[in-house]
Amino acid sequence: MTIRITGTGSALPEKIVTNFDLQELVETSDEWIQKRTGIAERRISTGETVSTLAARACERALEMAKKTADEVDLILVATCSPEQLLPCCACQVQDLIGAARAAAFDLNAACSGFLFALNTAYAYLQTGIYRNALIVGSEVLSKLVDWSDRGTCILFGDGAGAAFVEASVGEVLRGNGRKAGMECLFQGSDGAKGAVLSCEERPVANAFLSTAKTGNPYIQMDGQEVYKFATKQVPACIQEALDKAKLAVDDVDWFVLHQANVRIIESVAKRLRADIARFPMNINRVGNMSSATIPVLLDEWNRSGRIKEGDRLVLSGFGAGLTYGASVLVW
């Protein structure tokens, strides 16, 4: 038993914010941002929410998979920026798309969220609990960003990406002889280093506490430490996944990585000794959308026809937690 992705979808806010726009807010420049991150512009919400973006992405994934909302068994939303603590975003998405039969819940692994959700769906489907699942990574990070902090406000964007996955019982062989579906997964966490990328929720305050601790409600990041973590851990976990699947780097057609920084992606390619042309990127147009980056890029590459049946993909993410992981699958 394995799972196959049979539909993808994405949704982005309409407003485009360029590096030149940010020059009006903080001391920075287009050249400075592009040289350090590879980002030229990003999408920023002017009213779109985590749930509405997620719902639009889900509808497009269902349309591609030729499924109706009534057929969905499970909805998983990966997000670290929901508008509401209760109800969870997945239940809001369930209502918006009319998937009345589906079980729904959220999970938060920050930028690794979509990957962790995919692996969670794999566990549910592989054991036969459910037959299919909608997996979504959706974020409106613009509300968590301090727009006077040039170290973080230049990085993040808003958006959502989704994938519809189905259990695959029999062997589906592609033209190149590869079996379609998930081949291997690997994920991990390092909570001891979690402070290098954080964002506080509301502090403890109740009738039995005389003074409440006040904190910073915006994303805080030690960029150098995050860079060091990513450039070391991502190639290591990709290699771990490939070793488990008894595959080599050369057996992979596409490396679909979390879009955090062009320099990180280039470093990962170099450490793996893989051609950078096998690493799709859209960070220059959308920035870092946390859990949404992998599924949005996957949808773009899929709809453009660049991913072919039988292609082997590695999906890999890293983020706050600290969390990291990699999945290997055949399209």
pLDDT value of residue 204: 85
At residue 79, the 3 state secondary structure works out as coil
Helix or strand run (H / E) with residue 237: helix 223-244
* Pairing state between β 16-18 and 74-78: unpaired
With beta carbons less than 8 A apart as the criterion, state whether 44 and 142 touch: yes
**Catalytic residue among 19, 132, 288, 302, which?**
288
Enumerate the β-bridge partners of residue 161.
10, 137
φ/ψ region of 59 (left if φ > 0, alpha if ψ in -120 to 50, else beta) reads alpha
**Catalytic residue among 58, 88, 89, 111, which?**
111
Cis peptide leading into 87, omega within 30 of 0? yes
Give catalytic status of residue 111 as yes or no: yes
Give catalytic status of residue 206 as yes or no: no
pLDDT value of residue 172: 77
3-state secondary structure 156-220: ECEEEEEEEEEEECCCCECCCCCECEEEEEEEEECHHHHHHEECCCCCCCCCCCCCCCCCCCCCE
Q: Mean pLDDT by 10-residue block, N- to C-terminus, for the chain (331 residues)? A: 94 98 96 97 98 98 98 98 96 98 97 97 95 98 96 97 90 83 95 93 84 81 93 96 97 98 97 98 98 98 96 97 96 95
pLDDT value of residue 298: 98
pLDDT value of residue 222: 93
pLDDT value of residue 3: 93
Alpha carbons 210 and 76: distance in angstroms, whole number: 39
At residue 131, the 3 state secondary structure works out as coil
pTM for the full predicted model? 0.95
Strand segments, DSSP code E, in the chain are 2-11, 16-18, 41-43, 74-78, 103-107, 132-140, 158-168, 181-189, 197-198, 220-221, 254-257, 312-319, 323-330
**Catalytic residue among 88, 258, 261, 302, which?**
258
Q: In the 8-state DSSP scheme, what is residue 108?
A: -
Give catalytic status of residue 288 as yes or no: yes
**Structural domains of the chain, ranges and CATH numbers in brackets:** 2-168 (3.40.47.10), 181-330 (3.40.47.10)
